[in-house]
Structure 1
Amino acid sequence: MVVNRILEWYRAGINPQDKLPFLATYLGHRDIHSTLVYITVTQDILQQANERFRAFGAHCLHVTEGVTP
Structure 2
Amino acid sequence: MLNIVVLWNTVYFQKIIGEMRAEGIHVRDEDIARLSPLKFAHINFHGRYSFALPVEIQGGQLRSTAKPEKTATV
**Per the shorter chain, which TM-score range?**
under 0.3
When the two structures are superposed, what TM-score results if normalisation uses the length of structure 2? 0.24
Q: TM-score of the superposition, structure 1-length normalised?
A: 0.25
Larger Rg: 1
| Larger relative helix fraction | 1
